[in-house]
A and B are shown apart, each in its own frame.
Chain A
Amino acid sequence: MIHARRAGGPRGARSADPRRRTFWAFALPPAVVLAMLLLVPLALMLALSLREDLSGTLLAPFEPTLRHYRQFLATPAFLRSLGLSALTAGGVAVIATALAYPLAYFLAFRAGRRAGVYLVLLLVPFWTSYLLRVMAWKLMLGGEGVINSGLLWLGVIDEPLSALLYNRVAVIVTLVYVWIPFAMLPILAALGRIDIRLHEAAADLFASPAQQFRRITLPLSAPGLIAAFLMVFIPTVGEYVTPLLVGGATGTMYGNIIQDFFTRAANWPFGSALSMVMLGLTIVLVAIGLRVVNPRRLLGT
C-alpha cells in the first residue's frame, strides 16, 4: 500500500532500488514488534491518563480530561518523590559508572589474554534472576544478616543495627551493585576502541601516565561513560522492585507510587498520568544532559 502510493511520487524510481527492499525486509519485523509492544501500549497509556476514571468500557470513546495531571501538580508529595527519585537515579548512575570505570580499564589494558575469563566471572552473578540478587542483599543487610552477625560475633556491636536495611541508603547500595556490570560494558567497548599507538606516541613525547590518562584515555572513553551513565540512570528513575524489597517504609521511590496506583488503588488513569510525567521528565533530563555534555565534541569530531 505504501509502495503503491510512493510509486508515482518524486522518488518513485528509487523504490526499485534493491537496497531499499533489503532495508525494509530487515527493518519491518523489528518495526512491527516495536510498534505493537512499545508504541501502542504507550499510546494506550496516554489515552488512559486522560480518562476521568476506570468506570465504563475501557475502549469506548471518552471525554479527555487533564484532571490527573492537575492533581499531580497540586500534590507536593508526588512532585517531591519524582525529584527525589531522579536524584537517587543520578547518584546511583554516577557511583556505578565511577566504580565500573576501573574495572573496565583493568579488563581493557591490564588483563591481557585473561580478559575474557574475567569478564565472564564478573557476569556470573547475572546468570541468576534480578530478584534473587536483590534478595541476597536482604540477607546481607538484615537484622540477622551477614553484616550484623559478623559485627556481633566480633563484639563491635551489642545488638543488630537496624539502620542497614529498609531505607533509602539500602536501595542505593543495592542498585549500585546491580548496575556496575552493566555500566562496565559500554566503558569497556569505548576503551577497547582506543588505538594503543596513541599511548605509545604520548610516551615518546614524555607524557606521564597521569597525563596520558587525562589527555587520551579519559576523553576517548567519554562516550562510553555517557552511555554507561544513561544506561543506569534511565531505568533507575522508574525503579520499583528494589525499593519494594529493601526500601521499607521510608525508601519508597516514584516507581512504587506508580505501581501502587495500578495494583493497590485500582486508579489506572492517575497511575498512567504519573508514568507519562516520568517519561517526559526523563526525556527532558537526558536531552539537557546530552546538550550540556555534547558527546560529539568529546568524540572530537
Chain B
Amino acid sequence: MQPWRLRSAMRGFVGLVVLSLVMIACGGGASQAPPSADGSVGPTTGPTPAPTAIPPDQVTGSLSVLDWSGYDAPDFWTDFQTTYPKVDVAFEFGISDADIYGKIKAGSQADVFHPYTGWLQFYVDEGLVEELDTSRLTNWGKVPESFKKIGQLNGKQYFIPWDWGFSSVLYRTDKVSGDITSWSALLDPKYSGHISMWDDGPAAVTVSSYIHGYDETAITDSQLASIKQEWSDQARLNVAYWAAESDLVPLMQSGDAWVAYAWQGAYATLLGEGVPVAYANPTEGRNSWVGAYGIRKGSPNYDLALAFLDQKLGEATGNNLVSLYYYGSANGDVMKGITDATLKQAFSVNDPAILDKTNFTPNLTAAQRDAWTTLWAEVKASQ
C-alpha cells in the first residue's frame, strides 16, 4: 500500500471509530429512556390492569428469566407453566451473584432475576429492581414473616424469598475417618490434595470469620490480611476449586475430593447417586442463605413477571424444590408438609439446635464486596 493510501485509510478508520462511538452513545441514551416511563407497569400506579381479566391459560406473551444454570428445569417453575401454558419463558444464565448483578447493571433485558442474600441491597441502591405489589401475590400469605423481611429493603418489598439452604462442609465418609466438626477441615493439611473450596471470595472470608470468631460485618484490615495468608496457604491443599455444583459433584463422586465447601444440593445429588457422603454440623454453625426473585426496573412485562413470582411460591414448585433438590422453600405450607425422614434430616427440622446456631448471610456492602473479591483474586494470582 502506498503511504498516501495508508494515511487516508487510517483517517477513514479513525472517522469510523468516532462515528461508531457516537452511534453507540446515542443508542445507549435512547435505550435508557424507560419504555413505559414508570407508568403503566409500575406497582405504584392507581388502577392496576387486572391480570385476571383474561383467564391465565389464555394469557400469551413472553418472559425472560436471568437465573442460575439448572433452575431452568421445569420442576422449578411447574406452577407457572401449568397456570400460564401459553406464555413463553426463556432463560438466560449467570454463573455467580456477581455475574447476575453485572448483567443486570449492564442492561440485560431479563424481566426476572435470581440473586441471593448478600447481594440484594446493590440492586436497590442502583435502582435496578421494581418494587413488588404483594397484594397481587396469591401465595404471599404462605410465606413466613421472617422470610418476607429478607426481601424488604429500605422499607419496601423488592424481592420475594424463594429458596433457602445451608452451606457447610461436605465429606466422603469412606475417605475421612471420624466426623468433621469444624469449618477448619477445609484448611486442614491432613486432607491435602483432596479438598475442594468454592471459588468465591466472600465465602472464604466468611469461613475464616466462623473459624476465628471474627464479626464478618466488621472485619479489620489486619484480620483481612491474615485471612488472605490463610487461603493462600490453603490453595495447594485443593484438588481444584469448584465454580458450579456441576463441577463439585463429579469431583466428590470420583474420590478426587474428600472434603468440600458445599450447598445441600450437592449433598442431595451425591446421596442419590449412592456416594457415601455426610454433611457436617460444624461447632461454629453452618452458614445459611436465601435466594430471592426480583423484577428488573423498567421491565415491560411487569404483570407477567409478578405472576411468575407468585407461581414460583406455588405448592408443586415448592415440593419439587424440597424433594428433588433438598433446598428449602419459602412457602411455609410446603415445609410443614415434609414427612420424609431423610428430608427432615437435610433441613435439620428435627434438630432445632442446628438452626439456632446457623449463621445467616448478611448483606454485603460495596466496600466489602470489592475487598473480599480482590482478596480472593490475589489468593489465586499468588499461586
A: residues with CB less than 8 A from B are 2, 6, 11, 20, 23-24, 27, 31-32, 35-36, 39-40, 43-44, 53-59, 75-78, 80-81, 142-144, 162, 166, 244, 248-252, 254, 256-257, 260-268, 270
Considering the complex, give the chain B residue whose CB is closest to the CB of A145.
B254
A31 to B378, CA, bound (A): 39
Determine whether the beta carbon of B13 is less than 8 Å from that of A31.
Answer: yes
Cβ-neighbour of A265 out of B11, B16, B369, B381 (below 8 A): B369
With a CB–CB cut-off of 8 A, which chain B residues contact A23?
A: 5
Determine whether the beta carbon of B377 is less than 8 Å from that of A257.
Answer: yes
Determine whether the beta carbon of A257 is less than 8 Å from that of B380.
Answer: yes
Considering the complex, give the chain A residue whose CB is closest to the CB of B24.
A40
Whether a CB of chain A sits under 8 angstroms from the CB of B191 is: no
Cβ-neighbour of B380 out of A20, A44, A144, A256 (below 8 A): A256
Known: A58-B106, A75-B378. A248 touches B28 (CB 8 A): no
B: residues with CB less than 8 A from A are 4-5, 8-9, 11-13, 15-17, 20-21, 24-25, 28-29, 32, 95-96, 98-99, 101-102, 105-107, 122, 125-126, 193, 197, 199-201, 235-236, 238-241, 243, 254-256, 366, 369-370, 373-374, 376-383
Known: A31-B13, A35-B17, A261-B377. A142 touches B382 (CB 8 A): no
With a CB–CB cut-off of 8 A, which chain B residues contact A43?
A: 17, 21
Known: A11-B4, A264-B98. A162 touches B193 (CB 8 A): yes
Determine whether the beta carbon of A81 is less than 8 Å from that of B381.
Answer: yes
Determine whether the beta carbon of B105 is less than 8 Å from that of A249.
Answer: no
Known: A80-B382, A263-B98. A36 touches B20 (CB 8 A): yes
B248, chain A: closest CB distance, angstroms = 13
Determine whether the beta carbon of B201 is less than 8 Å from that of A265.
Answer: yes
With a CB–CB cut-off of 8 A, which chain A residues contact B193?
A: 162
With a CB–CB cut-off of 8 A, which chain B residues contact A260?
A: 373, 376-377, 380
27 CB < 8 A contacts A-B: A2-B11, A2-B15, A31-B12, A36-B20, A44-B24, A58-B106, A78-B377, A78-B378, A78-B381, A143-B254, A162-B193, A162-B256, A250-B236, A250-B238, A254-B381, A257-B380, A260-B377, A263-B96, A264-B95, A264-B96, A264-B98, A264-B201, A265-B377, A266-B99, A266-B101, A266-B105, A267-B370
A40 to B200, CA, bound (A): 31
Cβ-neighbour of B235 out of A24, A59, A249 (below 8 A): A249
| Chain B binding surface SS class | helix
With a CB–CB cut-off of 8 A, which chain B residues contact A6?
A: 8
Considering the complex, give the chain B residue whose CB is closest to the CB of A32.
B16
A251, chain B: closest CB distance, angstroms = 8
Determine whether the beta carbon of B29 is less than 8 Å from that of A59.
Answer: yes
Determine whether the beta carbon of B238 is less than 8 Å from that of A249.
Answer: yes
Determine whether the beta carbon of B383 is less than 8 Å from that of A250.
Answer: yes
How many residue pairs at the A-B interface have CB separations less than 8 Å? 143
With a CB–CB cut-off of 8 A, which chain A residues contact B377?
A: 77-78, 257, 260-261, 265
Cβ-neighbour of B255 out of A143, A254, A264 (below 8 A): A143
B269, chain A: closest CB distance, angstroms = 19
With a CB–CB cut-off of 8 A, which chain B residues contact A36?
A: 20
With a CB–CB cut-off of 8 A, which chain B residues contact A257?
A: 377, 380-381
Determine whether the beta carbon of B236 is less than 8 Å from that of A142.
Answer: no
A148, chain B: closest CB distance, angstroms = 11
Determine whether the beta carbon of A249 is less than 8 Å from that of B381.
Answer: no
With a CB–CB cut-off of 8 A, which chain A residues contact B5?
A: 20, 23
Cβ-neighbour of B102 out of A24, A59, A250, A263 (below 8 A): A263
Cβ-neighbour of A249 out of B16, B24, B240 (below 8 A): B240
Cβ-neighbour of B28 out of A11, A56, A59, A251 (below 8 A): A59
**10 cross-chain pairs, A with B, having the tightest CB-CB distances, nearest first:** A265-B373, A81-B381, A249-B238, A248-B240, A266-B98, A77-B382, A77-B381, A35-B16, A59-B28, A77-B378
Determine whether the beta carbon of A31 is less than 8 Å from that of B102.
Answer: no
A31 to B381, CA, bound (A): 37
Determine whether the beta carbon of B380 is less than 8 Å from that of A2.
Answer: no
With a CB–CB cut-off of 8 A, which chain A residues contact B126?
A: 55-56
B172, chain A: closest CB distance, angstroms = 13
Determine whether the beta carbon of B238 is less than 8 Å from that of A248.
Answer: yes
Determine whether the beta carbon of B99 is less than 8 Å from that of A264.
Answer: yes
Determine whether the beta carbon of B366 is less than 8 Å from that of A40.
Answer: no
Considering the complex, give the chain B residue whose CB is closest to the CB of A58.
B106
A59 to B235, CA, bound (A): 39
New contact pairs (5) apart from A32-B16, A248-B241, CB-CB < 8 Å: A24-B12, A251-B383, A257-B377, A266-B122, A270-B374
Known: A59-B28, A143-B255, A260-B376. A248 touches B239 (CB 8 A): yes
A54 to B11, CA, bound (A): 33
A187, chain B: closest CB distance, angstroms = 27
Determine whether the beta carbon of B16 is less than 8 Å from that of A31.
Answer: yes
B326, chain A: closest CB distance, angstroms = 25
A256 to B256, CA, bound (A): 23
Determine whether the beta carbon of B98 is less than 8 Å from that of A265.
Answer: yes
Determine whether the beta carbon of B20 is less than 8 Å from that of A35.
Answer: yes
With a CB–CB cut-off of 8 A, which chain A residues contact B369?
A: 265-266
Chain B CB within 10 A, most for which of A78, A244, A263: A263
Determine whether the beta carbon of B235 is less than 8 Å from that of A250.
Answer: yes
